[in-house]
């Protein structure tokens, strides 16, 4: 004789839980995942192969133009040699990893929306790792560090030259002594920690012009301005207020009114305004934006050309062979890579924005 407690169906919902015993569960055979997984910066740059945990490259530049007037019949010994020297830069590879553990029961039961729990979790972890890489590249303000076994790659900001960083708060380049960011950016993969307390300002089209001019004067070009979603809207608003011809306000053939700015035409070339949701996670950090481990959030914009950046991969993302552990299947994803900034004079930053 059965001793368990059973319930039966009933005609009235008011009779309690027993009334619904015969009802089938209405669970959709899918899983809705709305979190963004694209990587705007990493996807825009080139790829290369790293062959060591310290990935290195060289940069060079022409000397400054000057008067070059020589007498007829001049001897080579009478000409003063002037030259610039190559610079070697480098960045350390960083290991990204995720682990997962799925019981063998969970892999075999019939689940809605999931054919195999292990495969589903493996794919999900891979997307999370890619987002971590994007965060490291554009938001972490991390410096290169190979002093421990937990190596850290330097992100985009750590390779910026202060002569190409526009301080929107003070309205000057970071190389100017009046800027709070003087001596902060070294263009070699290291940021100098500075305890700054700035009041952020709204990004303006003039800020983009200043960085574009500075990059042009160094011999570089920029084709993109990557900003947080908040700063993307601020740029469109600034363009509309200025009556800029870059803003298309016409109604097209499909009946859509277009008022946002996609391409900004500066005096030194056109740039595409690209939003990056990872640059805007968490909101603005009002004080100390450059302290080690601090989170810049909406605080900066990257003015760059993808040709000056490469993702150097030492070990591509792959599943490590962990195997079973008791009655569970253990998995591990590992990727090791670094950022190569081909020439720091090819890009700039706008900092102190986000209001």
pLDDT tens column, 63-88: 888 888 778 878 777 677 777 788 89
Identify the burial level of 190 via C-beta atoms within 10 angstroms of its C-beta, where 0-12 means exposed, 13-18 middle and 19 or more buried. Answer: middle
Alpha-carbon gap, residue 123 to 333, rounded angstroms: 10
Alpha-carbon gap, residue 163 to 184, rounded angstroms: 11
Does the pLDDT at position 138 exceed 50? yes
Alpha-carbon gap, residue 182 to 294, rounded angstroms: 18
- Better pLDDT: 50 or 74: 50
pLDDT tens column, 278-316: 988 765 555 454 554 556 678 899 999 999 999 999 999
Is-contact 67 163, C-beta < 8 A? no
pLDDT tens column, 139-173: 877 889 999 889 999 999 999 999 999 999 899 99
Count of all residues that appear for the chain in the document: 355
Q: What is the pLDDT of residue 21?
A: 55
Q: What is the pLDDT of residue 70?
A: 78
Going by C-alpha positions, the residue among 159, 164, 146, 162 that lies closest to residue 188 is 159
- Better pLDDT: 33 or 221: 221
- Better pLDDT: 354 or 301: 301
Q: What is the pLDDT of residue 328?
A: 85
Alpha-carbon gap, residue 333 to 318, rounded angstroms: 6
Supply 123's token pair. Answer: 């794919």
Supply 304's token pair. Answer: 């760059």
Q: What is the pLDDT of residue 285?
A: 54
Alpha-carbon gap, residue 191 to 144, rounded angstroms: 9
DSSP string of 264-322, one letter each residue? EEETTEEEEEEE-GGGGTT----B-TTSTT---GGGEEEEE-GGGEEEEEEEEEEEEEE
pLDDT band at 249 (very low <50, low <70, confident <90, very high): low
- Better pLDDT: 157 or 323: 157
For residue 87, report the phi and psi dihedrals to the nearest 5 degrees.
-120, 135
> What does the H/E/C string look like for 39-64?
CHHHHHCEEEECCCCEEEEEECCCCC
Q: What is the pLDDT of residue 259?
A: 54
Question: Within 10 A of 164 (CB to CB), how many other CB atoms are there?
Answer: 26
Alpha-carbon gap, residue 160 to 143, rounded angstroms: 11
Average pLDDT for residues 81-102, to the nearest whole number? 88
pLDDT band at 246 (very low <50, low <70, confident <90, very high): very low
Q: What is the pLDDT of residue 71?
A: 81
Supply 50's token pair. Answer: 């790293």
Average pLDDT for residues 196-210, to the nearest whole number? 84
Question: Within 10 A of 325 (CB to CB), how many other CB atoms are there?
Answer: 9
């Amino acid at each position: 004789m059965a001793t368990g407690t059973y319930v039966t169906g009933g005609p009235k919902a008011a009779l309690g839980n027993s009334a619904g015993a015969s009802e089938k569960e209405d669970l959709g055979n899918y899983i809705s995942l709305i979190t963004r997984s694209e990587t705007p910066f990493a996807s825009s740059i080139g790829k290369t192969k790293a062959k060591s945990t310290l990935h290195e490259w060289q940069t060079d530049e022409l000397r400054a133009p000057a008067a070059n007037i020589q007498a007829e019949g001049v001897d080579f010994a009478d000409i003063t040699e002037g030259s610039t020297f190559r610079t070697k830069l480098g960045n350390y590879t960083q290991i990204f990893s995720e682990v997962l553990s799925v019981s063998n029961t969970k892999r075999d039961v019939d689940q809605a929306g999931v054919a195999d729990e292990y495969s589903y979790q493996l794919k999900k972890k891979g997307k999370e790792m890619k987002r971590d890489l994007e965060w490291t590249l554009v938001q972490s303000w991390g410096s290169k560090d190979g002093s421990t076994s937990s190596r850290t790659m330097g992100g985009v900001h750590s390779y910026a030259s202060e002569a190409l960083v526009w301080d929107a708060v003070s309205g000057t380049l970071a190389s100017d002594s009046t800027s709070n960011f003087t001596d902060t950016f070294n263009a070699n993969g290291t940021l100098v920690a500075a305890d700054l307390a700035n009041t952020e300002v709204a990004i303006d089209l003039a800020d983009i012009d200043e960085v574009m001019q500075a990059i042009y004067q160094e011999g570089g070009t920029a084709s993109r301005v990557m900003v947080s979603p908040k700063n993307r809207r601020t740029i469109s608003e600034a363009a509309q207020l200025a009556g800029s011809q870059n803003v298309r306000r016409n109604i097209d053939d499909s009946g859509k009114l277009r008022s946002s700015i996609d391409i900004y035409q500066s005096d030194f070339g056109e740039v595409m305004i690209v939003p990056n949701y990872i640059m805007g996670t968490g909101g603005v950090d009002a004080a100390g934006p450059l302290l080690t481990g601090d989170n810049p959030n909406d605080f900066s914009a990257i003015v760059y050309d993808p040709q000056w950046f490469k993702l150097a991969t030492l070990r591509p993302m792959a599943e490590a062979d962990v195997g079973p552990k008791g009655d569970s299947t253990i998995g591990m994803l590992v990727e090791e890579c670094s950022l190569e900034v081909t020439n720091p004079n090819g890009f700039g930053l706008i900092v102190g924005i986000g209001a």
